Structure 1
């Protein structure tokens, strides 16, 4: 999938106002109309123009897209980075699949159903709209609970149609046992009501920060723990930090890298807590001194061990 420069598609500057974007869109729509254009790719180009308009005339989509576009150029190989849309408030629901059929995979991956900024249609109502945002927390917060100050970017449009962002700072209590994908509801923190009606709510969707030590599946947590060759070969009692704190565990004699030890109920807390799976990783000490090299040579001479030899041979 290639990155699309929507400003380039419409032929406008990145600082273009709403009126400038609309003007360029109307000009291109007349030029590419099937009754007028003789260009063989007119239909495809018109689709791209419609897609660019859908993003750049929506303050929520445009604000998030502008931040993402700082890192890419048109035509560059592209996959949406994890949590690219974290920290943005957005309103409404999502595009239906039928709507997405007119747009590219690039658009669908960023703004389709299940994406964040610029979700779908809005309806007139007295109560303010609910708003949504994705936030990223550390796994430890799910084990212990926490209070966090978060700052969200809220799109604003000035009288000239220029999009900017307003910071929305909140103190949020992260409940113990929260899972990835779960929503925290902040009552009254959504859009203001219409005609004196109550404000909507703000829903925060929880995601865990990327951490090479852990892999999370629902409430189960998988953690790699390094051990020495002698701990693995002879067995040992060791201590290791985990998201829930320091734990003691027994390494069975004869363990190999990849061996999995299950600590029942030590995963993410809940009515039915998950399990913590310790995956052992045997780490060799470096042979960077004469003494270390001598020890390795003694092992090579006396153990006569060949891991490539067939066990049955």
Structure 2
């Protein structure tokens, strides 16, 4: 299970009081910069995963509230713990320092990103001391299982259509229903599939973080999909209705007369589905292609066009 220590607000470059629109805008801008399909830097993929996780947490109001209350420990803290109690217990344990003989994971980079001098188990002991005493022979009392995370990689088509998948997590085989229209970085919650609870308490939840694999044709940005549209010189010059591939199948798009390479044609609502709102759009980018080898007749016609045309693309 991945542990994130960097502040999610810093990852997206927004303030802690940023609205949802600002958070979404920041994510889209960063995603366009660091998506592995467009950025071949060795660290781009890790940066993209970082901003995707930050967005998945901060875009969900309930998860964001828990993150604001408990910081990077929010996935380990049981649901019924009061934030003020947690803060006081953490401050008290930090002042006392680490107990002799505490596990090695309590230092920097240890459980929940506590930092040096604080033992996560010791802190939980303080929180639950009113529920049956501490560890040393007094019993913890029922403690819910911890939430866990895992990644699931999907093709663009799988993310578009959704469906059923079987995955293996921690040696367990789990059947997952993938909702149609999931996006990169989105979290799918599997209730009760996380860590086991103690003394009969409920198990935690398993959160699957969606990663959309690079695709030879499609580039996904949020819910929008971009695809190149090869056209002939005469289709670009005269205009035409041509076929374009989409994850849902073939669609028709009208290429206006006088289109140059790079022109973007928008197919509204043909991007990733959105079960809770407006679907994304598909953008087909015109790319003018010429024959690799010309027939005698084609060469004669191109030469004739070159002789009569006054068009100069290099003259402004």
How many angstroms apart in 1 are the aligned matches of 2:289 and 2:206?
47
- Aligned pair in 2 of structure 1 residues 93, 291: CA closer, same or farther (>3 Å)? farther
Match of 1:262 in 2: 266
The aligned runs of 1:1-313 (5 Å cut-off) are 79=43, 81=45, 94=72, 120=113, 124=124, 126-152=143-169, 154=170, 167-270=171-274, 271-287=277-293, 292-310=298-316
TM-score between the two structures when normalised by the length of structure 2: 0.54
- Alignment CA distance shift 1:197-1:93 (3 Å): farther
State the shift of 1:242 in Å: 0.3
User: As a proportion of its length, which structure holds more strand?
Assistant: 1
SS of residue in 2 equivalent to 1:281: strand
Partners in 2 of 1:186 and 1:306 — Cα distance? 60
Partner SS state of residue 177, structure 1 = coil
SS in 2 for 1:273: coil
1:138, 1:176 → 2: CA distance?
A: 12
Q: What is the Cα-based RMSD across aligned positions, in Å?
A: 3.4
Query: Secondary structure at the residue paired with 2:192?
Result: coil
Q: Do 1:136 and 1:209's aligned partners in 2 also have CA atoms closer than 8 Å?
A: yes
- Cα distance in 2 for partners of 1:197, 1:269 equals 38
Q: CA deviation at 1:214?
A: 2.6
Q: Could you report, residue by residue, the CA deviation over 1:221-269 in whole angstroms, capped at 9, with x for unpaired residues?
A: 2222111111111111111210122111111111111111111222221
Which string of whole-angstrom CA distances, capped at 9 and with x for unpartnered residues, describes residues 184-210 of structure 1?
111111111122322111001112111
**Which segments of 5 or more consecutive residues in structure 1 lack a partner in the other structure?**
1-58, 62-76, 86-91, 97-116, 155-166
Spell out structure 1 runs of 4+ moving beyond 6 A.
Answer: none
CA deviation vs aligned residue, 1:29-71 (integer Å, no higher than 9, x gap): xxxxxxxxxxxxxxxxxxxxxxxxxxxxxx978xxxxxxxxxx
Given that 1:93 and 1:120 are in contact with CA atoms closer than 8 Å, whether structure 2 keeps it comes out as: no
State the secondary structure of the residue aligned to 1:297: helix
Cα distance per residue 1:253-293 (max 9 Å; x no partner): 11111111111222221222122222111112213655554
With over 3 angstroms needed to count, the CA separation of the structure-2 counterparts of 1:170 and 1:253, relative to structure 1, is same
Separation in structure 2 between the aligned mates of residue 304 and residue 235 of structure 1, nearest angstrom: 20
From the superposition, tell whether residues 169 and 293 of structure 1 become closer, same or farther in structure 2 (CA, over 3 Å). farther
Q: Is the 8 A contact 2:2 2:149 kept in 1?
A: no
Q: Distance in 2 between matches of 1:295 and 1:78?
A: 48
| TM-score where L is the length of structure 1 | 0.54
Partner-residue secondary structure (3-state), 2:188: strand
Q: How many residues are treated as equivalent by the alignment?
A: 199
The residue matched to 2:260 in structure 1 has which SS? coil
